[in-house]
Structure 1
Amino acid sequence: MYQFNEMELAIIEEAEKVAVDFLKPKAAEYDENRSFCKESLEELGQLGFMGVHLPEEYGGLGLSGPAVSRVVEAVASACASTCSALTAHFLATDSILIGGTEEQKQALLPKSAAGELLGAFALTEPAAGSNPVDMRTRAVKEGDGWRLTGTKHYITNAKEADFIVLYAKTDVNAGARGISAFVIEKGTQGVEFSSPEKTMGLRGSTIYEVSVDCWLPDSALLGKEGKGFHTAMGVLDRGRIEIASMSLGIARAAYQATLGWSTERNVGDKKLAEYQGIEWILAEMYTQLEAARLLTLKAAKARDDQDRFSLESAVAKFYAAEAAGFITDKALQLHGGYGFIQDLPIERYVRDARILRIFEGTSEVQKIIIARTVLHNFSQQ
């Protein structure tokens, strides 16, 4: 198991505390009202958690990958909507960290880490989800800048964000090498947002369709032209570990609620947990949760130690997201009819967990990444 240093343990403890004291009491309200989790993000920003993943030189906390994972897990265990908005912010700021110029990093990252700026990551399109190379959004040179046209879909934080990192094709004939990234500041003319999507879960983390027909100066190009695909893939490797951590948080909350329920609920003359069939289910839930945690920590450690960690992040994201689906479903099953009503958070856990098998590449995409990487490594032996 990964050993955290004293500073990391203190930060993780603080994350668990704010999750219980501040985030958890607001989770049901965000879900029921479909209201953006603004207050929770502001609280996280004041405590420095908006930059928990960033180096200290850019205003972040400089935590290790495993420590970042534990913070994300803590937030998700209390309010998955807040965690979704937080990790979407991470995608945007990781884009700048990986692909931006030093000037762009200094201009955006310290304020983002302090919670003064909120970011959004715009890669997915209606006809280009799992394969970004199919994107249709275009960026064409126009004067001393760029004309961007196109539509992005399912963009978390988009309307609330102070900046959007948007990916577009600057060379339609160059495949992946023809993709570049741009920073669009809030209030830019020619950027329009749909109404918030009415999602099944994560209802306090709003997502939008974003249409652009705007002009941006050359300074808005993130890093170098043609490097957008490389940046996006690096960001998604990190993001998949965060989705695995988010999966752990939701699954942990559902499992702990089920332990409490099964040891308090009487069925006949025995506690629910005293029935062997229930014990088996609890054992399966625990085993999947522990396996997911170990795979996630392994991937988070690989993020610190390796230039490429696509295999580890895909394995962690695939297993943890599937485990969260299994654990939340069993939690509802063991709660019976009580799990199906909104008086308890169990049905929210089920709804919130479902998207995790789709976020940052579906489970099917993760299996493709895993298989192709394993086969490639085998062929090199």
Structure 2
Amino acid sequence: MTVQRVLPTDEAKAIVELTAEIADGELAPKVDEYEARSEFPREVLRVLGRSGLLGLPYPEELGGSGQPYEVYLQVLEELAARWVVVAEAVSVHTLSCFALATRGDEAQQRKWLPDMLGGELLGGYCLTEPAGGSDAAAMTTSAVADGDTYRVNGTKAFITHAGVADFYTLFARTGGPGPSGISSFHVNAATPGIVPQRLENKMGLNSSPTAQIVFDDVRVESDRRVGDEGIGFRIAMAALDAGRLGIAACAVGLAQAALDYAVGYAKEREQFGTRIIDFQGVGFMLADMATQISAARALTLHAARLKDSGRPFSVEAAQAKLFATDMCMKVTTDAVQVLGGYGYVSDHPVERYFREAKVLQIVEGTNQIQRLVIARTLGRS
């Protein structure tokens, strides 16, 4: 199914077309092999970076491409439709650049952002902790000022790009309890004392390395603190608002891939002398899948356009992430059902899509947290 896209400029159209070309040529042929080996496609990310696709939503004066968020999200969707690990990697990297791009001083931005936004340096986002989970404000990782450095001690959990990232955006406690005691740091991943633990054995996203990271008396220079002490939690939450839209776009792309495959199969597969797509039980299921994908895409792009116009979008981002990822789980489940027994075996990609969809309901704030965000806003209105 060809997605009808409305893009704001000819340049944006060219960017999305370039993304589709790279996705077909560099991603689609490699996904099965890399997933089977659980190998992270670092070179693919470099290709995307050198093509200008890793700094899309950040200003040109910082080394980005200055594109609206609605364009960036449609790039993510194109990537996710071929290989959701790569789309998620781009989303996490973009999230990791947020603190420095929005709160860094001129010297920090000039020193680090060009290689970050150009894709030569890959980022990780160190917020979640083993005991904290959704309660990020309860973090215990500490950063104690010691002369012209901070001594960092603690453990972060479920870190995407653990062990392969070149830098980590780290959130740690520099003050008292609660959100106001948290600060943000831009940390070189090669700093002594940063110890990635064994990789998690996950249900899906096998080629994306995820692990705990231990910070064992790590010395971080004071000039790597991003923004003033005590504003780290605000930075983290603002980054997650934007990051939730990235995950929503990944969900839309993954669901589109599942629908396209299921439709192709249903048009080829015959039972009782009839294509199964012509049976109402299957055709109506596919129709519902297509409609839900279109609705999720519209909701996600609406939130992006609010962001692009400088208007509040936190609630809309939560709604988009909630709806799109729940939709993706349902669509990939139905895609398996359309294929029947063949959907349950790895000869067809829908079983992988099904496994990959689940994590999108969890990352960047679980969907229960999204409901909490939305409900609190309703309670205040």
User: Which bracket does the TM-score occupy, shorter chain normalised?
Assistant: over 0.9
Whole-angstrom distance in 2 between the partners of 1:271 and 1:200: 33
Partner amino acid for 1:185? N
Whole-angstrom distance in 1 between the partners of 2:106 and 2:181: 22
Of 101-110 and 189-198, deviating more is 101-110
Tell me the residue number matched to 1:35: 39
Partner amino acid for 2:9? N
Tell me the residue number matched to 1:287: 291
CA deviation after TM superposition for structure 1 residue 374, in Å? 2.2
Q: In the alignment, is residue 358 of structure 1 matched against residue 371 of structure 2?
A: no
Tell me the residue number matched to 1:108: 112
TM-score (norm 2): 0.96
Partner amino acid for 2:375? A
CA contact (8 A) 2:129 2:139 kept: yes
CA deviation after TM superposition for structure 1 residue 151, in Å? 0.2
Partner amino acid for 2:58? L
CA contact (8 A) 2:7 2:71 kept: no
Tell me the residue number matched to 1:276: 280
Counterpart selection for 1:92 from 85, 91, 96? 96
Give secondary structure in 2 for the equivalent of 1:167.
strand
CA contact (8 A) 1:84 1:202 kept: no
Q: In the alignment, is residue 132 of structure 1 matched against residue 136 of structure 2?
A: yes
Whole-angstrom distance in 2 between the partners of 1:350 and 1:370: 27
TM-score (norm 1): 0.96
CA contact (8 A) 1:112 1:118 kept: yes
Tell me the residue number matched to 1:212: 215
Aligned residues: 376
Counterpart selection for 1:163 from 156, 163, 167? 167
Tell me the residue number matched to 1:61: 65
Counterpart selection for 2:193 from 182, 186, 190? 190
Tell me the residue number matched to 1:199: 202
Cα distance per residue 1:120-155 (max 9 Å; x no partner): 110000011212111110111112211110000011
CA deviation after TM superposition for structure 1 residue 99, in Å? 2.4
Of 298-307 and 160-169, deviating more is 298-307
> Runs of at least 4 residues of structure 1 off by over 3 A?
none
Of 212-221 and 285-294, deviating more is 212-221
Whole-angstrom distance in 2 between the partners of 1:34 and 1:183: 28
Tell me the residue number matched to 2:232: 228
CA deviation after TM superposition for structure 1 residue 39, in Å? 2.2
Q: Which runs of 5+ in 1 are unaligned?
A: none
CA contact (8 A) 2:7 2:13 kept: no
Q: In the alignment, is residue 22 of structure 1 matched against residue 3 of structure 2?
A: no
Cα distance per residue 1:312-368 (max 9 Å; x no partner): 100000000000000000001101111111111111101111100001011110001
CA contact (8 A) 1:157 1:205 kept: yes
Whole-angstrom distance in 2 between the partners of 1:113 and 1:184: 16
CA contact (8 A) 2:57 2:67 kept: yes
Cα distance per residue 1:39-91 (max 9 Å; x no partner): 21121112111112211111111111110110000111111111122211111
Partner amino acid for 1:338? Y
Q: In the alignment, is residue 9 of structure 1 matched against residue 13 of structure 2?
A: yes
Whole-angstrom distance in 2 between the partners of 1:70 and 1:233: 23
Whole-angstrom distance in 1 between the partners of 2:312 and 2:33: 40
Partner amino acid for 1:198? N
CA contact (8 A) 1:58 1:110 kept: yes
Whole-angstrom distance in 2 between the partners of 1:46 and 1:149: 35
Whole-angstrom distance in 1 between the partners of 2:75 and 2:135: 30
Whole-angstrom distance in 2 between the partners of 1:237 and 1:2: 23
Q: In the alignment, is residue 304 of structure 1 matched against residue 301 of structure 2?
A: no
CA deviation after TM superposition for structure 1 residue 198, in Å? 1.2
Q: In the alignment, is residue 367 of structure 1 matched against residue 371 of structure 2?
A: yes
Whole-angstrom distance in 2 between the partners of 1:95 and 1:26: 32
CA deviation after TM superposition for structure 1 residue 311, in Å? 0.4
Give secondary structure in 2 for the equivalent of 1:192.
strand
Q: Which runs of 5+ in 2 are unaligned?
A: none
Identical positions, percent: 38
Counterpart selection for 1:145 from 132, 149, 160? 149
